[in-house]
Chains A and B, each alone.
Chain A
Amino acid sequence: MKVFTFKIGGPAGTGITSAGLMFSKIAARSGYHVFDYMEYPSIIRGGHNVMQTSVSDEPIATQLQSTDFLVALNQETVDRHVGELTTTGIMLYDTDEKIVIKTMPIGATALGLPLHMLARSNTGSIIVINTIALGVSLYLLGGDLKYLQDLLDEQFAKKGEKVLQQNLDAASAGFKYAQDNFSQYVISRLTKRKKTLPALVINGNEAVALGAIAAGLQFASIYPMTPTSSILQILAPLQQEFGFIYKQPEDEISAINMAIGASFAGARAMTATSGGGFCLMSEGFGLAGMTETPIVIIIGQRPGPATGLPTWTEQGDLRFVLHAHQGDFPRLILAPGDVTEAFHLTMQAFNLADKYQTPVVILVDKQICENHESVSPFNYAKYRIDRGKFTTKKIANYKRYSLSADGISLRAPAGSGNHVIANSDEHTVFGYSSEESSVRQAQMEKRMQKLITCEQKDMPAPILYGPAKADLTIVSWGSNKGAILAALKECSRVNFLHLTWLNPFPTAMVTKILRQAKKVLNIEANYTGQLGGLITEKTGLVLEHNFLKYDGRPFYPEEIITKIKELL
């Protein structure tokens, strides 16, 4: 793999993530594709933070097990990550931290420098250690200091002249120190490429939030929860500029009910949470289904049950989201595989919610929510707002739940002059409570018909990546896409079926592709193989080979390649 990996680690609160993101942006501005991956504990200060950026000439959306360039700001980074260094790897470490290096991988180089001392003598503050380390790294990687200076300017200008100057001094001091002391170690991995196209360096939460705004979001009520909290933090400061409302509710029960209330008034409404918050939303989920109220719910998975591993990743909530709430109702569940898909599927989710008047879930995970990927600026020129059967006019003899072949009734909001009844009890076509057998049957069938209509009208075929003919077909969903696509580049005669629509489910296509496959490998980040079970349920096919992971860590291409080789 022609991928270069840069990793910076240190105690939480020392600017590891901001330095990591700056590195990603420098690489992207220098013309490379990047993906960064962050590991951090569920505490604010003192824990171990580490961020890895993968840099490649080609599109990339995965972290790697190996590290080419490691910046260790503390002993723990050395202990945990020195073994990842490649045979040509370089480790930069802070000699002021009294770091002990027990072993180094053969061929790798350890370069010590007094980061604390450099920070104090050049800026008078140790807060800029991360910036000095970036300056040193840039020199060693043959990068352009100007990109770092630009980024510092963008980030710190608002914090005042002093802070900005401190950081600029730190960057130059680091760069110069490396020039004076490490010139023989320069490896040109960040040399500016001839062609540099504009690229966003953006994570899934940002993509979702911006997709929602572009799609005409009017109301969002979100209770904070890792890993989706940054969605609300992006929305909140933009609400006046774009004219929507973000509301922090007292809990997730309120979050979903507020969104439902706003939607009842005709607003495009959403909420976001993680599996634990969605537990509280489960009753509101079915309420939206029963009352046929459009809402978009973003669920960023993390390992459960209970509090689980709050800041790590997993795909353990698929079955939960598929089945949450009592009874049957139509729910749409979409699982983007990367940030670009997260952006477009979020935009589409608002149309689908309006069109089918039912809740639509965007099922992501920490891996997509918080890791940045460099992507072409989102092109949403073709997107059209589609509110489905919706009217604000007064209709004679209006019936909210009138029966129709496609299962969809004309929706009028509160305040439209129509007598609109949204009823959580089973109801007549007008919305009045009814326990009549014929009413129940007709309304149940009407609601469930919407799923069939959606399957026929809106569900695309899943994408099969790689060669049409293969000895092994990998099937997976969501964020595993990046690691699997990277693994595919190293293996011939392997293809990959990626599922983004999980309900309704593309049964016919999945059956066809998996029946034809010589061998199938199901890859999922959960204990029970939830997608595998779903595939069996829908297609009758039992998947023999499963690669399941539930340690909170994402899939690495290296381990997928090993698994592929075992099977071929």
Chain B
Amino acid sequence: MTWQDYLTPNKCNWCPGCGNFSIWSSFERAALKMGWNNSNTALVAGIGCHGHIVNFISLTTFEGLHGRPIPVASGLKMANHKLNVFVFTGDGDCLAEGGNHFIHAARRNQNITVIIHDNAVYGLTAGQTSPRSPKGFKSKSTPDGNIEEPLHPLRVALATGATFLARVYSGNIDECADILIKANKHDGLAVVQILQPCVTFNKEYSHIFYQENTYALGDDYDSTDKAAAFAKTMEWGEKQIPVGILYQVQEPSYESQIPQIKKQVLVATTIKKRNIDGILKKYL
């Protein structure tokens, strides 16, 4: 395959400068490197600007409802756990509408990669505050400034049991592609928070902002130390946004603990009518 093979006849319709372009590039770069194709991979997207990605990648996709890509991916993965399953979701999609699914996915530890397109604003509905918008953020829904504190998805995911947490700025395509590959290889739930500017509706978190305020975790950082990871998730602000793999530990994935799919995937065989006469006898 070449990168052209991942293209579709559709023209990208994100705003010029949107962080989604580089997420798209990073994902295709990772896909090409790893050979993700329609036999071994499926994507699930929610609703928001991020969800349009399904129209621009020639990989099997389920574009579901706002806030619900995680449960769709969950069912898909249980039914065919050999597939690489990626969730594309936004900060509104994942953390507002889909918050309940997000925390339960973290403790469920399925071998799924959740990619949060985090632009800290509602883009597709044209500029309202999101759970990621900073305090004081002025938007169409908070004209006098956001009163609520922002939610930190990695902190939440860490608290609820996720085993792989990474953060990356969308503009670093190489690093982003690399982290997506590592997240996919991780046997368990991987959350990748991609800091992605919304050039139209969020003037605070611009490309420049992320370029100036993110810093890479050093080689001496121990990503298996939960307390250290928790401290890192507390950091946010000027020159204080750590990027890289904040946390990674190996715990048995959900799928590895389902005996029915030890030998083969659930959908491996053709469905047959089952004989239930033995069970019926118990009701005599």
Give residues in A with beta carbon < 8 Å to B: 29, 198-202, 206, 210, 213-216, 218-219, 221, 238-240, 242-245, 247, 249-251, 253-255, 257-269, 283-284, 287, 291, 377-378, 380, 383-385, 387, 413-425, 431-433
Contact = CB atoms under 8 A, between A and B. Distances in A.
Given A262-B266, A418-B38, 15 more contacts: A200-B280, A214-B274, A216-B272, A219-B78, A253-B100, A258-B74, A261-B76, A262-B78, A264-B62, A415-B40, A415-B42, A416-B38, A419-B59, A433-B52, A433-B55
A425 B52 CA distance: 10
Interface in B242-284: 258-261, 266-267, 271-277, 279-280, 283-284
B43 to A, nearest CB: 9
B276 A414 contact: no
B75 A261 contact: yes
Contacts of B271: 216, 218, 268, 385, 387
Interface of B: 8-10, 37-40, 42, 44, 47, 52, 54-55, 58-65, 68, 71-80, 82-83, 100-101, 104, 258-261, 266-267, 271-277, 279-280, 283-284
B261 A245 contact: yes
A242 B276 CA distance: 9
A238 B278 CA distance: 12
A378 B79 contact: no
Contacts of A377: 277, 280, 284
Contacts of B9: 432
Contact of A250 (B58, B104, B261, B276): B104
Contact of A259 (B59, B64, B75): B75
Contacts, number: 205
A266 B259 CA distance: 20
B274 A213 contact: yes
The 5 A-B pairs of least Cβ separation, nearest first, read A261-B75, A258-B75, A257-B71, A265-B79, A261-B76
Q: Which of A243, A265, A287, A424 has the most CB of B within 10 A?
A: A265
Contact of B79 (A199, A219, A380): A219
A254 B59 CA distance: 24
A258 B70 CA distance: 8
A249 B283 contact: no
A422 B63 contact: yes
B76 A264 contact: yes
Contacts of A433: 52, 54-55, 63
A214 B279 CA distance: 10
A423 B266 CA distance: 24
A420 to B, nearest CB: 5
Given A216-B272, A264-B76, A417 B38 contact: yes
Nearest to A154: B282
A240 B261 CA distance: 9
A250 B60 CA distance: 26
B79 A421 contact: no
20 contacts: A198-B284, A201-B283, A210-B279, A214-B273, A245-B266, A247-B75, A250-B104, A257-B75, A261-B79, A264-B62, A264-B76, A264-B79, A266-B79, A413-B267, A414-B80, A417-B39, A422-B61, A425-B63, A432-B10, A433-B54
A366 B52 CA distance: 43
Contacts of B74: 247, 249, 254, 257-258, 261
Contacts of B62: 260-261, 264, 291, 414, 421-422
B280 A260 contact: no
A242 B59 CA distance: 32
Contacts of A219: 75, 78-79, 266
A419 to B, nearest CB: 5
A266 B80 contact: yes
B116 to A, nearest CB: 18
Nearest to B37: A417
Contact of B83 (A213, A238, A414): A414
A95 B52 CA distance: 74
A498 B220 CA distance: 74
A215 B100 CA distance: 32
Contact of A262 (B58, B76, B259, B277): B76
A247 B72 CA distance: 13
A384 B273 contact: yes
B169 to A, nearest CB: 28
A122 B98 CA distance: 58
Contacts of B52: 433
A358 to B, nearest CB: 16
Nearest to A432: B55
A261 B77 CA distance: 8
A242 B83 CA distance: 23
Given A420-B60, A421-B61, A425-B63, A253 B71 contact: yes
Contacts of B63: 421-425, 433
